[in-house]
Amino acid sequence: DTAVSQTPKYLVTQMGNDKSIKCEQNLGHDTMYWYKQDSKKFLKIMFSYNNKELIINETVPNRFSPKSPDKAHLNLHINSLELGDSAVYFCASSFGTPNTGELFFGEGSRLTVL
Amino acid sequence: GENVEQHPSTLSVQEGDSAVIKCTYSDSASNYFPWYKQELGKRPQLIIDIRSNVGEKKDQRIAVTLNKTAKHFSLHITETQPEDSAVYFCAALKGPYGNNRLAFGKGNQVVVIP
């Protein structure tokens, strides 16, 4: 009964390719997020959606495009992958804003760009 | 935006000793301060949080203290055990506003030596 599930868990691909990571939560939360964790463990927010609406869009290259078909799903599509995109990408969800309840993270998707 | 600094970056303690990690924040309007623990290869998980109307909060062997005047908050782990070895992230948020970002620190690696 995974609360926040991401697929795939591991992704190895060549520079220039396009890839997607999917995320689903079964907690009934209304807010979902994508975070990027680089090799130095720094957790940086990329996007946040509340009830399918984009509410946070950090300074992320427009090669990254999130999509929320409903409030239980938030997918991340990345075009023209670059070496610097290699990282662990975490999906997370919460009720409302992060200070109204715990951020539940998925297990992460490790992306390696060769 | 909010800037959160954590120190020390790495902390080694003998099993049974106490560990203290300190975080400083920049925005005096921040009012919510969670701590997340990330074990190796796992997802970050909330372990304790504190709001600005409280000076201290305890949960078994962990406690968090907040000094609003000095704009810093600390995580205290007593009677450390090997399973406490992990990266600990502090964070700060002002809100509740839907587009507010939970600003994470860069993480502290805690190593408990058996």
Contact B100 A108 (CB under 8 A): no
Contact A103 B100 (CB under 8 A): no
Distance CA A97, CA B3 (A): 18
Nearest Cα of chain B lies from the Cα of A18 at a distance, in angstroms, of 25
In chain A, which residues have their Cβ closer than 8 Å to the Cβ of B104? 42-44
Contact B95 A99 (CB under 8 A): yes
pLDDT digits (tens, 9 = 90+) for A72-110: 999 999 999 999 999 999 999 998 766 666 899 999 999
A-contacting residues in B 19-78 (Cβ below 8 Å): 31-32, 34, 36, 38, 42-46, 49, 51
In chain B, which residues have their Cβ closer than 8 Å to the Cβ of A106? 43
Of B96, B99, B104, the CB nearest to A99: B96
Buried b (16+ CB within 10 A) or exposed e, B25-50: beeeebbbbbbbbbeeeebbebbbbb
pLDDT band at residue B29 under the 50/70/90 scheme: confident
- In a mutational test of the B interface, the residue from A42, A48, A97 whose CB has the highest number of chain B CBs within 10 Å is A97
Tell whether the torsion through CA atoms of A73, B47, A102 and B105 is positive or negative.
negative
A-contacting residues in B 82-111 (Cβ below 8 Å): 87, 89, 91, 93, 95-102, 104, 106-107
Contact A56 B106 (CB under 8 A): no
Q: What is the mean pLDDT of residues B49-58?
A: 92
Q: What is the mean pLDDT of residues A51-62?
A: 84
What mean pLDDT, rounded, does chain B reach? 91
- pLDDT reading at B107 higher than 90: yes
Contact B98 A108 (CB under 8 A): no
Buried b (16+ CB within 10 A) or exposed e, B63-94: bbbbeeeeebbbbbbeebeeebbbbbbbbbbb
pLDDT digits (tens, 9 = 90+) for A9-51: 999 999 999 999 999 999 999 999 999 999 888 899 899 898 8
Contact A103 B38 (CB under 8 A): no
Residue A110: strand pairing partners = A10, A88
Closest chain A CA to residue B30: A99
